[in-house]
């Protein structure tokens, strides 16, 4: 083929790809407000803001959610310096707001990944429902990579916004601490200087009030060091510093394995409980995720998994995963060894039988059990009552991309 022919073929391909790009951008732009509203609802759950049972932490703000969505969709239109600057600004703002509302960095990035998945899913659904004329597989992959690259840049901006806000908060914390430490230290130095001043009469320098003042301020220093610089006060992820609902965490994990559960025809039930406290939320999420995934690999269509909670004594809680089948939830030796190693790394213990029992420390929990009937209404019943979650497993898949979930 001649050089002119090659150039003509490339030009035709570029026109077709451009038409596909423009069509998807227009369709997604029309959906942006709906995507942003649905993601905002999902993000509150992922960020565990529902645990606060308060409207004082509404992050992300509606305008921020819409801006993030629009900036992601812009990957299908342009990719210039001005567009990237707007994307970075939106990411920085969302990261800072997530820190201010008390979310952890782990959950902030997780929430952002859901938005990226929602936009990708909307692109796929748009292309499937109204196939554009022309365009190749390569063109579709190129657009997906453009969205992925845009999402990666947004993730970096969100992380930077979060860590910058966290750094500012730490600097403020230490600034106040320095001020508070200097007051008693200054008093002690003044007393010592006065007691060493030979120009002051000896009887004045030996005044018992000076010694009492020095002791009192030294004790104040010791208390501040213990209270505000102790090991337990070292800055930790935000979710460790406040009570978090175990059920909220379990629901979040189930959301992540919903696609696989639907594909295998497996129902996942989770007990209703108000057990809550301070614990390693990211670590528990990671462990529950791999436990569910390993159990799903050995499950068959029509089976049920049932997650329950109970106090194990001595400040620990037990999370039990049972299986309504003739075999234990997990039997593969390789999977059991891998899960046991992970559990040790995050400070929990796991007993593999039927049920699988995860035991972890729970600090500052106020145990309350809320029993919910299968129709969703409270009732007086035993703690074995569960929330039915298998009404429509397809909604699990849709929820991963922003649809309403009944799982």
Tell me the pLDDT tens digit for each residue of 85-129: 788 888 888 998 888 888 888 889 988 998 998 998 888 888 887
Instruction: Examine the domain organization and report whether 127 and 247 are in the same domain.
Output: no
Note whether residue 237 is domain-resident. no
Residue-wise pLDDT tens digits, 22-45: 888 888 899 999 999 999 888 888
* pLDDT-above-70 percentage for the chain: 77
| Residue 371 neighbours by CB under 8 Å, 6+ apart | 272, 378, 379, 380, 381, 382, 383, 385
Q: How far apart are CA 52 and CA 189, in angstroms?
A: 45
Pairing of strands 386-387, 267-271: antiparallel
Question: Distance from CA of residue 18 to its chain's centroid?
Answer: 36
Listed residues 136, 170, 204: the one ending a domain: 170
CATH of the domain at 56: 1.10.490
Average pLDDT, integer, range 137-154: 81
Listed residues 151, 170, 189: the one ending a domain: 170
pLDDT of 258 higher than 50:
yes
Domain enclosing residue 64, as ranges: 3-170
pLDDT of 80 higher than 70:
no
Q: What pLDDT is attached to residue 195?
A: 84
Q: How far apart are CA 25 and CA 127, in angstroms?
A: 11
Q: What pLDDT is attached to residue 231?
A: 61
Note whether residue 182 is domain-resident. no
Instruction: Examine the domain organization and report whether 154 and 250 are in the same domain.
Output: no
Instruction: Examine the domain organization and report whether 151 and 298 are in the same domain.
Output: no
Instruction: Examine the domain organization and report whether 27 and 116 are in the same domain.
Output: yes
Please name which of 114, 104, 227 lies closest in space to residue 166, comparing C-alpha atoms. 104
Instruction: Examine the domain organization and report whether 166 and 274 are in the same domain.
Output: no
* pLDDT-above-90 percentage for the chain: 11
Note whether residue 51 is domain-resident. yes
pLDDT: is 90 or 379 the higher one? 90
Lowest mean pLDDT among 65-69, 258-262, 372-376: 372-376
Quick one: pLDDT band at residue 226, thresholds 50, 70, 90? confident
Pairing of strands 267-271, 304-313: parallel
Contact between residue 35 and residue 118 where contact means Cβ atoms under 8 Å apart: yes
Q: What pLDDT is attached to residue 375?
A: 32
Instruction: Examine the domain organization and report whether 160 and 15 are in the same domain.
Output: yes
Q: How far apart are CA 287 and CA 71, in angstroms?
A: 33
Select the highest-mean-pLDDT range: 83-92, 246-255, 398-407: 246-255
Instruction: Examine the domain organization and report whether 157 and 11 are in the same domain.
Output: yes
Tokens of 223: 């208390």
Average pLDDT, integer, range 186-209: 84
Q: What pLDDT is attached to residue 269?
A: 94
pLDDT: is 14 or 178 the higher one? 178
Q: What pLDDT is attached to residue 347?
A: 80
Number of domains the chain contains? 2
Backbone conformation region of residue 319, classed left if phi is above 0, alpha if psi is from -120 to 50, else beta: beta
CATH of the domain at 283: 3.30.565.10
Q: Name the strand (E) or helix (H) holding 321.
A: strand 316-323
Q: How far apart are CA 384 and CA 372, in angstroms?
A: 10
Q: What pLDDT is attached to residue 383?
A: 33
Q: What pLDDT is attached to residue 366?
A: 46
Instruction: Examine the domain organization and report whether 253 and 119 are in the same domain.
Output: no
Q: How far apart are the first and last CA of the chain?
A: 57
3-state secondary structure of 271: strand
Listed residues 135, 170, 205: the one ending a domain: 170
The mean predicted confidence, pLDDT, of the chain is 76
């Amino acid at each position: 083929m001649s050089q002119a022919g090659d150039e003509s073929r490339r030009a035709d391909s570029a026109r077709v790809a451009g038409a596909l790009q423009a069509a998807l951008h227009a369709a997604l732009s029309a959906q942006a407000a709906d995507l942003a509203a649905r993601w905002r609802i999902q993000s509150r759950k992922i960020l565990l803001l529902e645990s606060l049972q308060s409207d004082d932490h509404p992050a992300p703000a509606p305008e921020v959610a819409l801006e993030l969505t629009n900036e992601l969709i812009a990957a299908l239109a342009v990719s210039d310096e001005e567009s990237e600057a707007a994307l970075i600004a939106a990411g920085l703002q969302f990261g800072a707001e997530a820190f201010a509302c008390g979310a952890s960095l782990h959950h902030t990035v997780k929430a952002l990944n859901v938005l990226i998945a929602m936009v990708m899913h909307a692109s796929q659904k748009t292309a499937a429902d109204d196939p554009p004329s022309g365009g190749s597989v390569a063109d579709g992959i190129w657009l997906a990579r453009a969205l992925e690259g845009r999402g990666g840049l947004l993730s970096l901006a969100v992380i930077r916004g979060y860590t910058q806000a966290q750094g500012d908060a730490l600097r403020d914390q230490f600034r106040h601490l320095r001020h508070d430490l200097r007051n008693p230290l200054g008093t002690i130095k003044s007393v010592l200087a006065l007691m060493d001043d030979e120009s002051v009469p000896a009887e004045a320098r030996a005044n018992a009030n000076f010694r009492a003042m020095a002791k009192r301020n030294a004790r104040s220093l010791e208390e501040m060091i213990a209270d505000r610089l102790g090991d337990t006060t070292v800055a930790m992820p935000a979710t460790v510093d406040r009570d978090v609902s175990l059920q909220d965490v379990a629901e979040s994990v189930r959301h992540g394995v919903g696609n696989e559960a639907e594909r295998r025809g497996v129902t996942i039930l989770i007990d209703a409980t108000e057990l809550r406290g301070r614990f390693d939320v990211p670590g528990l999420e990671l462990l529950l995720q791999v436990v569910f995934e390993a159990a799903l690999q050995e499950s068959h269509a029509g089976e049920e998994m049932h997650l329950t909670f109970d106090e194990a004594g001595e400040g620990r809680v037990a999370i039990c995963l049972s299986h309504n089948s003739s075999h234990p939830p997990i039997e593969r030796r390789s999977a059991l060894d891998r899960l046991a190693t992970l559990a040790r790394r995050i400070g929990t213990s796991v007993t593999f039988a039927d049920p699988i029992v995860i035991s972890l420390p729970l600090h500052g929990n106020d145990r309350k059990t809320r029993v919910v009937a299968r129709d969703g209404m409270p009732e007086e019943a035993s703690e074995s009552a569960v929330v039915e979650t298998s009404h429509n497993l397809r909604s699990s898949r849709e929820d991963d991309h922003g649809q309403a979930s009944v799982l």
